[in-house]
Amino acid sequence: MNHDVTTLALPINPEPWTAPNVSVGRRGGKPFPMVYKNEALRAYQQAVKELVSEPINGKYEGRIDLRFYFWRQLPDYTTDDEVRARKHHADATNLQKALEDALQGSLFANDRDVAHVESWIMEQGRDVEPMIAITIRPAGAPPVIDLAGLLDPTPETSDEPFFTRTEGLF
């Protein structure tokens, strides 16, 4: 399917990706690892899939560019031990990973098709209205980077940095 730029606003509190939980089970007297996703992450990713299934008529095909904007609410909660706590601030990398995994198969076929991705944490806090904004478009040409003159021919044994200039890269 060929699309121009599409922007979606999802009224959901973003959750960061977390490593799977691992426990040890026994089968025939022998131990084996049991691996499963964090339940909050699983519920978040399922909710994202449901939210994006309606606004888009078909998946993007081919290479794509993505931008994610996160507004994350950090609510107070009570732990199993009856201790009052608050969700922790998340980093952009783990918010992006969890969202990309959730969008794979619904908004686009495979995350290998993502040519460029940017993630911005707009705000995190107790009183933040939770939301995710997503912009998706067919991938454009990558920016041209002139590497001429950036590499220092100094031998590797030198204490000097390998890259001597950064102008034009950022």
Distance CA 142, CA 36 (A): 37
pLDDT band per the 50, 70, 90 thresholds, residue 100: very high
Largest alpha-carbon pair distance within the chain? 64
- Count CB atoms within 10 A of the CB of residue 150: 15
Domain assignments of the chain as residue spans, ordered by start: 6-18+36-138
User: How much is the average pLDDT of 68-85?
Assistant: 85
How does 91-129 read in b/e, with b if 16+ C-beta sit within 10 Å? eeebbbbbbbebbbeebbeeeebbeeeebebeebeeebe
Q: How confident is the model at residue 1 (pLDDT cuts 50, 70, 90)?
A: very low
Classify 50 as helix, strand or coil. helix
Rounded average pLDDT over 89-114: 93
Residue 147's pLDDT is 62
Distances, alpha carbon 50 to alpha carbons 65, 117, 130, in Å = 22, 22, 17
Q: What is the pLDDT of residues 17-53, one digit of tens each?
A: 987 777 788 888 888 787 777 888 999 999 999 998 7
How is residue 97 written in tokens? 């990973």
Query: Quick one: tokens of 126?
Result: 């107790």
Q: Report which of residues 102 and 57 the model is more confident about.
A: 102
- At residue 37, the pLDDT reads 76
* Fold held by 6-18+36-138: 60s Ribosomal Protein L30; Chain: A; (3.30.1330)
DSSP result, 72-107? EE--EEE-TTS-EEEPPP--HHHHHHHHHHHHBTTT
The whole-number average pLDDT for the span 64-76 is: 93
